[in-house]
Structures are given as C-alpha cells and as structure tokens.
Amino acid sequence: QLHLVETGGGLVRPGGSLRLSCEASGFRLDYYAVGWFRQGLGKEREGVSCMRSGSYSADYAASVMGRFSSSRDNAKNTVYLQMNSLQPEDTGVYYCAVDASGNCEGDAGMDVWGKGTLVTVSS
C-alpha cells in the first residue's frame, strides 16, 4: 500500500518557523519526485516546492523562495519542508505528493497524496 502522512502543522505567530514532515510507507521516496502543495481557504491549490527523483535540491515557488527549504532523509523515508519567516499569507492546508515518473509535472502528474496538515499563521 502506498501511503503518505504529513505532520508538523500547527499555529505559529508571524515571523515564526515550522517544519513539516512527509513520511512514506509502501515505497521508497527516493524513486519518486516529491512535491509540496498548499491550499488556503477559498483559494486554488498551488505548488510550493518539488524535488525530482535522484535529486537533493528542489525548485520553489517565487512566493516562498528564500524562506522555505525541502530536504530528504532516505534512512527515515521522509521528506521535510522547513518554513521560516512565516506570514499570514502562508496559512493553509499543506500536502505532500509523489510522482512515479520522477519528474515534477504539477498537480495532475502526482500519483499519491497525503491527507494534509493545517498551518495557521496568526498573531
């Protein structure tokens, strides 16, 4: 069974930091492209970052460039999203998803999705 679980969401004040985790079961994350997405209330889902299979660097949306970073821990079969300098505009449900092609092809190309974890940035 292919399964993804996101953890680490919560309430944080503006300027604070959170680290999200995406743990995979039933497959090895290093064989897949791994993307992070988010969706705010009343907004469309948008891509946050994506890391191709065989790569340890990621591409980022312009809105999070320089503030967010993703990393991979193969021993734990887990991908992380470190989020710094959080602002209210970052509020939303964050999802991780994987693409069996190994390429970052956007939402439609993702094969397995987690259920999401809520991040709320508020004073």
Average pLDDT, the chain: 95
pLDDT of 106 above 90: no
pLDDT score at 20: 98
50's enclosing H/E stretch is: strand 46-51
pLDDT of 1 above 90: no
pLDDT score at 55: 82
- Strands 18-25, 78-83: pairing kind: antiparallel
pLDDT tens for 55-97 read 888 999 999 999 999 998 989 999 999 999 999 999 999 999 9
Rounded CA-CA distance 116/119 in Å is 10
pLDDT tens for 23-64 read 999 988 888 999 999 999 999 999 999 999 988 889 999 999
